[in-house]
A and B are shown apart, each in its own frame.
Chain A
Amino acid sequence: MQQLIYFIRKFRYFLLFILLEVVAFFFTIQHHSYHKSKFVNSANSITGGIYNTTNSINEFFQLKKDNRQLIEEITNLKNTVIINNLSIEKDSFNINKSEKFRQKYQYTFAKIINNNYTKRNNVLTIDKGIKQGITSDLGVINSKGIIGVTKNTSNNYTTVLSILNNNSKINARLKSSNHFGTLIWNGNDFNILQLIDIPRQAKLKVGDTIITGGKSAIFPEGINIGTIKDFSFENNQYKTINIELFNDMSNLGYVQIIKNLERTEQLLLEKENTND
């Protein structure tokens, strides 16, 4: 017993060092796995609050760009409204049973208060949380394309797993055909993502548009992602397909969070099928 106490006294700094290092390593392992909810994240009131304050200063310098983006989006929306009105006039149908027409997706807007894109695993922070109805695993987009999936939430802040992350796997497809693939990031360039698992029957061209696939319950189908920059075809299979994003990931402001109102229903149904 005395020897044990002597041992602990002699190596007490080393033991403390090992103990703390194990704690740090535990957090790191947790950081690298997708499914665990993380203890160390910036969705708490202190870090979120500080980011919020500094962001409001930065925002002032972005006003010009934000205004331009808003005007572009308004113009787009006006154009679509006009087209819709015309088609309604042409077909002239009435909606009698409103329960047939359901709302599947609900959109909430939020502001990115901490953006990063140079690391291997990038996580963003936005200024909405549980109080505003945000949960984990919701899609985050802006007018140009997809940005990521929500992860940890606190009362007023949420962290978003960026598409520039090792754990991010987004279902994507070609706009011209129905061939599905998975969108990943190899960590090199923050504007270039990689599309894998595309079947060899698919016909690709440089410049083809890639959109979300809608196979997952997170993103609706048809949201823009980017265009094919280059690809290589080896051994009768597609090797790396590089996708250039429409979005500039280094310059993000306001985003929309997509809540799939039928997600639980869809997941339950899919689970039932696998149980059989």
Chain B
Amino acid sequence: MSKDPFKTRLEIAKKKVSKRNLENKKHNPSSIGTAFKLSTELVSAVAVGTIIGFILDKTFGTKPWLILIFFFVGVIAGITNVIKSAKNMQK
């Protein structure tokens, strides 16, 4: 095979690929990834907050109070997490 037909074929193929890439950009898999991210973000922050409260309660001996406070702080942290990643998604 001579070289020139191959080169022209390569050019055509490259154009096709770049065109397809442009079309695919609208729904790339990373949006599904960020959607998966949201679901666990909320729960894990609550869990971490509760664990921190539990540990602090054990060390200071203030049995029910710190776990209660840190539970709600964890809820707030989870909600801010979700809002942050939703904002990142829209960028």
Task: Please say whether chains A and B are actual partners in one complex.
Answer: no
A residues neighboring B (CB under 8 Å): none
B residues neighboring A (CB under 8 Å): none
